Structure 1
Amino acid sequence: MSASTDYPSFLTPKVANENQSHDAAIVVFVLGGPGSGKGTQCQKIVEHFGFTHLGAGDLLQAEIDSGSENGAMIENFKKEGKIVPSEITVRLLQQAMQQSENKKFIIDGFPRNEENRAAFENIVGIEPEFVLFFECPEEVLTKRILNRNQGRVDDNVHTIPKRLKVYFEQTLPVIDHYSSKGKVQKVDAHRSVDEVFEGVKSIFCRLTK
């Protein structure tokens, strides 16, 4: 795989280690609307099944917080209201996978759209073992977001419907793609945390042996 010259060196994979890092890797994408409980359930999956939890947003923010030139580039995309190119996000995920001694990964909130999905499969060269999709009615998601009080400026009654609309418009094509391959495992997230995790456990016990 040749590296693009349009991106900084930290985004270029170490080819010698690439196959070694990915041959036995198990990747599970975790998707669901904001407020569906992905973060809480990912913590439980890590504790019970030994997966490493990767969040695309967390990796981008960590690069920004590092104060590096590369982080400044990512921050500029955000300041200008531009979406960070899929290749940059995927390279960060790939780098995190290569640097981990674990071979089992849950990737939270990714891919958000078809471009993300295609970039991940093309660059990393693997498909997910399955996609864990937390289904929850829009009115429940809205109530949870309003009640969680995380201090986000977009956690308000005016912006939440727009966020949910954009999320589902972009993400449902990803769900449809993997559904056509029999790779989507849906979980009813309109329940208590423990009840949801019972459903999650049965899926992981069955599909990640």
Structure 2
Amino acid sequence: MSTIDNLKDRTTPVFSQDDVTVIFVLGGPGAGKGTQCERLVSKYGFAHLSAGDLLRAEQNRPNSEFGSLIREHIRNGTIVPMEVTIALLESSMRTILTSSSPTNTKGKFLIDGFPRKLDQAHKFEEAVVPAKFVLFFDCPEAEMERRLMERGKTSGREDDNAESIRKRFRTFVETSMPVVEYFEGQDRVVKVDARPEPASVFETTTVELEKRLGKDF
């Protein structure tokens, strides 16, 4: 993956904020990020990139040089090296921006489950494009665990079990909450209570997004 080779040394973003709008979507495991992203895609025409989905797809891709590395990190609830994740995100953004698809004509991206550490945030903004803000779905651990255990009955995901879930909670608190706090210090966080039903959460989310971006973004 040639993109990785120059990521470490790149200090100029490859995309302009004039052409590309990126919103980072964060929240603990089970906070409902994916559900809300689907609704935002439908309403506003975002392209939805899930860092976790990209990594899971890459680990299963035949002859992937990163497959076993990604699998080990996902199993342990730890964070994949940032160059791998950022390269996958950048590659997906390029594919969408250069496709002839009528969707995402304005270059609007929701990046779900990323950045999970401050160094990822800094590197993505330095090398790819600065984000507009973080959309943070705030949810208590007890509720997130209940949702994930329920999902695990049908999801087939190897990390939807009690031990992995608790590891993921610890990782989120220790590594991702500092990201939220960093962006909060720059007034670049939109925080939404993720406890209510999805329709109610979505209504709140749309109000908050339009406050930041305007109704016609």
Which band: TM-score by shorter chain?
0.7 to 0.9
Report the residue type matching 1:134 in the other structure: F
Residue 183 (1) aligns with residue 188 (2): yes
Residue 62 (1) aligns with residue 67 (2): no
| Identical-pair percentage | 41
Report the residue type matching 1:86 in the other structure: M
TM-score by length of 2: 0.80
Q: Please give the alpha-carbon distance, in whole angstroms, between the structure 2 residues aligned to 1:193 and 1:26.
A: 24
Residue number in structure 2 paired with 1:4 = none
Q: Which consecutive residues of structure 2, in runs of 5 or more, have no partner in the other structure?
A: 98-103
Residue number in structure 2 paired with 1:85 = 81
Residue number in structure 2 paired with 1:3 = none
**C-alpha RMSD of the superposition:** 2.3
After superposition, what is the alpha-carbon deviation per residue over 1:132-182, rounded to whole angstroms, capped at 9, x for unaligned?
Answer: 000011111111111122233333334433321221111111001100000
Q: Which consecutive residues of structure 1, in runs of 5 or more, have no partner in the other structure?
A: 1-7
Residue 144 (1) aligns with residue 160 (2): no
Report the residue type matching 1:28 in the other structure: I
Residue 51 (1) aligns with residue 46 (2): yes
Report the residue type matching 2:89 in the other structure: L
TM-score by length of 1: 0.83
Q: How many positions carry a matched residue from both structures? A: 195
Residue number in structure 2 paired with 1:74 = 66
**Equivalent residues in 2 for 1:1-209, closer than 5 Å:** 8-11=1-4, 19=14, 23-68=18-63, 71=64, 73-79=65-71, 81=73, 83-101=79-97, 102=104, 103-124=107-128, 126-148=129-151, 149=153, 150-209=155-214
The 3-state SS of whatever aligns with 2:109 is strand
| Contact 2:27–2:137 (8 Å) recurs in 1 | yes
Shift of residue 194, structure 1, vs aligned partner:
0.4
| Contact 1:27–1:127 (8 Å) recurs in 2 | yes
Q: Please give the alpha-carbon distance, in whole angstroms, between the structure 2 residues aligned to 1:52 and 1:107.
A: 8
